[in-house]
């Protein structure tokens, strides 16, 4: 249950300690690094980070520097969940054998949408199924931004990327965004949630829940990417809000299988409020936009039903 007016004083209870320190090389207005910075505040010091190859890895750790003040490991692109499985298992056995002091150390794996919904899906599924106590965060900026904005299975319908370019025979991305939270939830793990750094307190609350559950947890974070979405870098937070207010990216959680809407933006804004102004959607025709609107509306109704919202 959310406390009323928590937003008013919540800012004062966010830990001041930084685990993602300044000096990293993220693009201006990057909401992804903001999401991770906030998430780490909620995880706290006793955390081990496992990161997949991607934007967040390359902006943070050019040898011999690092922007992480937490233990951090990167092995490859597709295996963050598997590396996290190994780290979690090692902690468990080393504590059991009293080789390291018993302590509640949380393992968190972080990967982008490509590293999660495409190349890392198998490793993630394996780790969720095995029930390791860890949190997996997908920071979803809706394409392979690190390599120059190529489409992933998480790129939304109609979006222009360098490998889903609109043209005479193409409207841009021709497929619907893969529903990763639903795939994670299908593993019957104790906690799944969506979040967006434009709603920081919602994000913090969900991370804290994810940390507490006994077993795997999955958080899908929409991470606005001004570079890849072709928007001004000062509008990242606004576009995150618009994604939620239009119903394109609803904020909800699935706790032990029970769906709950954590923020109800109804009445929904029209999708054009979100699509307009983003360079990646500027080629869309009114016909495509109404198709998107229809799809969003249908998905929203389905979600409302699952959440028991009338």
Partner 1 sequence: MNAKKGIEVSIAASIAAKLARVEVVAAYPITPQTHIVEHLSELVANGELDATYINVESEHSAMSACCGSSATGARTFTSTSAQGLELMHEILFIASGMRLPIVMATVNRALSSPLSIWGDHSDVMAARDTGWIMLFCENGQEVVDSIIMAFKIAEDRKVLLPVMVNLDGFSLSHVIEPIEFPSQEEVDKFLPPYNPLYTLHPDKPVTMGAYAMPELYTEAKYAQEMAIVHSKEVIVKVMDEFGKRFGRYYKPVETYNTENTDMVFIALGAINENIETAIDRLKEEGKEAGLIDLRLFRPFPTKELLFALKGKKRVVVIERVMPGGATNGPLFNEISSLAHSNGMNITIENYIVGLGGRDVLPEDFRDIFDEIKATPEKRTKSKKDKNFSVIGVRE
83 lies in the binding site for partner 1 (CB under 8 A): yes
CA distances from residue 132 to 43, 83, 135 in whole angstroms, order as listed: 17, 11, 9
Q: Which of 44, 49, 65 is nearest to 111 (CA)?
A: 49
Rounded CA separation 154/140 (Å): 8
Tokens of 85: 């499985």
117 lies in the binding site for partner 1 (CB under 8 A): no
**Do the Cβ atoms of 52 and 77 come closer than 8 Å?**
yes
**Do the Cβ atoms of 29 and 234 come closer than 8 Å?**
yes
Among 30, 35, 36, 50, binds partner 1 (CB under 8 A): 50
84 lies in the binding site for partner 1 (CB under 8 A): yes
Tokens of 18: 């930084």
**Do the Cβ atoms of 110 and 218 come closer than 8 Å?**
no
Among 46, 266, 294, 301, binds partner 1 (CB under 8 A): 46
CA of residue 217 relative to chain centroid, distance: 12
Question: Residue written as tokens 């104790």?
Answer: 190
Name which of 23 and 64 has its Cβ closer to partner 1: 64
The residue range among 22-30, 80-88, 192-200, 225-233 that interacts with partner 1, by the rule CB under 8 A, is 80-88
71 lies in the binding site for partner 1 (CB under 8 A): yes
Tokens of 228: 């890849």
The residue range among 59-67, 211-219, 286-294, 296-304 that interacts with partner 1, by the rule CB under 8 A, is 59-67
Tokens of 244: 């939620």
Name which of 129 and 301 has its Cβ closer to partner 1: 129
Residue 147, preceding peptide bond in cis (omega within 30° of 0):
no
Helix (H, G, I), strand (E, B) or coil at 23: coil
Q: Mask: binding to partner 1, 118-137, rule CB under 8 A, as x and -?
A: ----xx-xxx-xx-------
Helix (H, G, I), strand (E, B) or coil at 220: strand
62 lies in the binding site for partner 1 (CB under 8 A): yes
Among 90, 237, 306, 309, binds partner 1 (CB under 8 A): 90
239 has which bridge partners? Answer: none
The residue range among 83-91, 144-152, 256-264, 288-296 that interacts with partner 1, by the rule CB under 8 A, is 83-91
CB of 107 to partner 1, least distance (A): 8
Question: Residue written as tokens 């000096």?
Answer: 23
The residue range among 60-68, 193-201, 227-235, 283-291 that interacts with partner 1, by the rule CB under 8 A, is 60-68
The residue range among 58-66, 188-196, 258-266, 282-290 that interacts with partner 1, by the rule CB under 8 A, is 58-66
Using CB under 8 A, list all residues that contact partner 1: 45-48, 50, 57-58, 61-66, 68-76, 78-79, 81-94, 96-97, 99-100, 103, 105, 122-123, 125-127, 129-130
């Amino acid at each position: 249950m959310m406390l009323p007016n928590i937003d008013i004083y919540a800012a004062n209870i966010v830990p001041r300690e930084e685990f993602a320190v300044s000096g990293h090389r993220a693009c201006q207005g990057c909401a992804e690094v903001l999401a991770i910075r906030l998430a780490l505040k909620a995880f706290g010091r006793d955390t081990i980070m496992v990161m997949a190859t991607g934007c967040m890895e390359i902006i943070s750790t050019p040898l011999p520097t690092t922007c992480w003040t937490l233990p951090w490991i990167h092995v490859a692109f597709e295996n963050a969940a598997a590396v996290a499985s190994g780290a979690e298992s090692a902690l468990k056995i080393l504590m059991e054998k009293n080789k390291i002091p018993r302590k509640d150390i949380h393992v968190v794996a972080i990967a982008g949408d490509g590293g999660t919904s495409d190349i890392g899906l198998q490793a993630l599924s394996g780790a969720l199924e095995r029930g390791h106590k860890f949190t997996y965060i997908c920071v979803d900026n809706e394409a392979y931004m690190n390599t120059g904005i190529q489409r992933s299975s998480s790129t939304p319908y109609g979006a222009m990327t360098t490998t889903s370019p609109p043209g005479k025979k193409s409207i841009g991305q021709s497929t619907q965004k893969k529903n990763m939270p639903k795939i994670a939830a299908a593993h019957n793990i104790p906690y799944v949630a969506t979040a967006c750094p434009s709603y920081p307190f919602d994000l913090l609350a969900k991370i804290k829940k994810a940390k507490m559950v006994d077993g795997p947890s999955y958080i899908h974070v929409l991470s606005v990417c001004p570079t890849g979405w072709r928007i001004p870098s000062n509008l990242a937070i606004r576009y995150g809000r618009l994604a939620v207010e239009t119903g394109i990216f609803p904020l909800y959680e699935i706790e032990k299988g029970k769906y709950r809407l954590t923020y109800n933006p109804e009445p929904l804004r029209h999708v054009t409020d979100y699509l307009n102004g983003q360079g990646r959607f500027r080629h869309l025709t009114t016909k495509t936009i109404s198709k998107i609107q229809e799809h969003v509306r249908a998905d929203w109704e389905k979600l409302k039903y699952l959440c028991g919202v009338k």
